[in-house]
Structure 1
Amino acid sequence: MTIDREWIMIPSMNTPTNIRLRIGAASRSSGVSPHTIRSWERRHHALAPYRSDAGGRLYTEADVQRLLLLRRAVDAGHAIGSIAHLPDSDLARLGRTSALDPARELSNRFMEAVSRFDPESAERELNRAAALFPQDRLVREVLAPLLRDIGERWAHSEIGIAQEHLATSLIRALLVTLIRLQPPPAGGRPIVFATLEGERHEMGLLLAAFLAAARRRRVVYLGTEVPAADLAHAARNCNASAIALSLVSAGDASDALDLLAALAPRDTAVWLGGSAAQAYAAVAASRGWKVLAGTDDLDAILV
């Protein structure tokens, strides 16, 4: 007879004899990923499973029911840190009252699918968002907040690197597809989108390129880690109206920006965006460049 190792009987001095589930079975039963379960236990003390004699986590049916209630409350828009201490009866009420708008609900379903490594379901949620929301709202209300949420969850160890990579790869694929599906540009000089050498963060850059394409601007998307000299060469050869740079990493980009200023065409504007762009505000002002605080600033100059 084959024994299912996910379900075990524990006759131990430390716990009463009972059926208990290992974390994989508890995850499948509750719909909460093992990584998230561990995070909720470690960071928020949302539940306290038994431990086997070997130290492994073991969950009762009551634990699984609590995980279900916690998941439903989180899906309804309640922060885990605010509800982890509540009794099951309160969690059940929270799960019946949604605190979310449709954009947030879509984002939560996307993240839950990512957490359980279900790319098909996650992609369906992204496609649903793209169908439901106008393009500017898709960026502002769904994709930009979702990317911030992914970063915060990773920073707080609520998702792992593999899940973060899965989420961003799916969003990247959506944005690339949407850019390609835009109507032909209305004409005019193109905008070159890139990051400088050493800057690998791409998602904000892709969002900006998508906004420009949605505004029927010509987009030349070069991607990440483009040397300043090559960037200037590209701008000159395509007669770019602007170079849009995303600056996110903490490294010093001063030398690359100096080289770009020396080599770029004088009639090509330079726009700096991203979380690190403000550090170069004085340099940008001295050169007549623009620092964009977010998508609203970009949209204002694209109109």
Structure 2
Amino acid sequence: MSTTESSPTETDRQALLPIRSVSQITGVNPITLRAWERRYDLIRPTRTPAGHRLYSQADIRTIKRIQELAESGMGFAQIALLLKQGDTESSREQREATPAPEAPTTPPPRSLLDRVMRAAIDLDPAELRAAEVTALMWLTPEDYLREVLIEALAQLEARTAWPDRDLGLIWLAEYIKGRAEWVADRPGHTSEPVVVIDNLVRGQPFSAGGLRLFTALHDDRFHVRLLPTGLTESQRTQMARRWGARAWIRLDTAPPENPVGRSAGAQVFWCRLPLLEPDDGDQAVDFMQRWRRLVEEDIQHCREQVAEALGRPEPSPPQLTRH
């Protein structure tokens, strides 16, 4: 770590990379990279005249080192001290010739996204919990929900086949639903107006699209609640009424011919979010691009409807992370 902005060598200057490229190389998402810089002063990328961050190869090496130390359980105050000591030693030895570094004997740690996906594939609750503990050392619960958990679910939905695929998707979706409810009820967040989201897709848990709608409405400062799946109509109505819902969003592949306008004192909206199924041979990246385009349009449409009905300003478009 350096206490001033990076001063890369001529070779490094030729290889300066934007934050998105560095995220792809290291597996660390941009929000985390910015948090390491702003909150912990662990890295100092150079800036363009417009303020955009550019990272040198030395910065990338530092990021990978931070990953290793954080994955080992070291706190960020200790990491900062260790990196600072390393800078001091490096400056002292800069004039001396040093042998080439030895190849690492162990593979680098997986990114948080990879760890969550692997935990779902293996149905491994211990690994999922360990990934969360690591993530919450530097990410807010909202960022972890949006950038890691829901993104992992979306990418797993894009895979055509893996052992116990349906079971793994249901298991991860239910876990994410629980974390979303925790985020909604954290102290300090708004308690009204209440918007409930109701998943009516038969035999399916909340999809990545439905959970992404939750985060978008949460960002709009609504108190969003997720109705349990499998309830009868009267039970769902009772819960919406007990929660004091003002808007009730029903997710389904096709709304009824004569949808009701109000129920349990709430304005009712029917939203169709894409439940795409990847075809055999369908490239995951192509599937994800198609899914993102469709889900972004549908989420924005739902947000506009709710904002207008509840007298809120028009929400800003959702910012979906591209991986």
TM norm structure 1: 0.46
Give the structure with higher Rg (CA). 1
Greater RCO structure (CA 8 Å; 6+ sep): 2
